[in-house]
Amino acid sequence: MTIRGKVAVVTGGAGALGLAAVRALLEDGARVALVDLDALRLDTLSRFLRGERIVVAADVTDTQAVRAAHERVRADLGPVDILVNAAGASTDSAIAATDMTAWRRVLGARLDGTFLWSRAVLPEMTTRGWGRIVNVGGHRASAAPRGTADAAASGAVASLTEALAREVASRGVTVNAIAPTFMRSPSATDHLTEAQRRQVLAALPAGRFGEPEEFAHAVRFLVSPLAGFMTGETLGLDGGLHLA
């Protein structure tokens, strides 16, 4: 039961979680397209990866850019079998401190990008009768502090995941989400002060931050044949924070 030879797209492929997913998929034999807005970082990272892959610089919030990126993937690797929507942006600001620029940046990267890429790949997935989509969002870790825009994006992605799963389940495509909280990364943990780190770790039953590789293992499971009867679910990766 393998994904060897499958074509995968990972948006946010230059980020900590996206890159971990890319590495895992390449190790499992998939042919992978790394999609990210940061073209220079994509090129640099790709040199250190093993396996068949391409890099595609694209803005996931731009309809035309997503269409062009999808066509590039199809031309270079073939029809997409696996989509991991890991592109994102975040802010921990409360509503009074959240301007429209920040609001649109977070919702655009996390919700619009998920919608646009899913819409692009689903027709061929449903025609072939097999496909896997993994989104990033959800509210499993309700005890985690989050900004207004982050909360809205996570909830919207969770709802979109359920709607898509219901729509395509009978055609061999699964759509699930992962809700990662306090995974070790520049956006989630690296910016914390020492006092904030101690406070967060004290609240986490696991007593540590999650690792990007643990996110990647969850992706591995959800895109594999082992998860073929699982769809519309949100898998929490929060070190037990939802129990607090």
pLDDT digits (tens, 9 = 90+) for 169-227: 999 999 999 999 888 877 677 677 788 888 888 888 888 888 999 999 999 999 999 99
Kindly list the structural domains of the chain, giving each domain's residue range(s) and its CATH number in brackets, ordered by start: 7-184+212-234 (3.40.50.720)
Phi, psi (deg, nearest 5) at residue 128 = -80, -20
Output the CA torsion sign for 103, 33, 115, 4.
Answer: negative
Closest CA to 15 of 70, 86, 115, 116: 86
- C-alpha to C-alpha distances, 170 to 1, 61, 100, 148, 231, nearest whole angstrom: 21, 29, 39, 35, 11
Q: Is the pLDDT of residue 142 over 50?
A: no
pLDDT, tens digit, 9 for 90 and up, residues 40-50: 999 999 999 99
Q: Residue 19's pLDDT band (boundaries 50, 70, 90)? A: very high
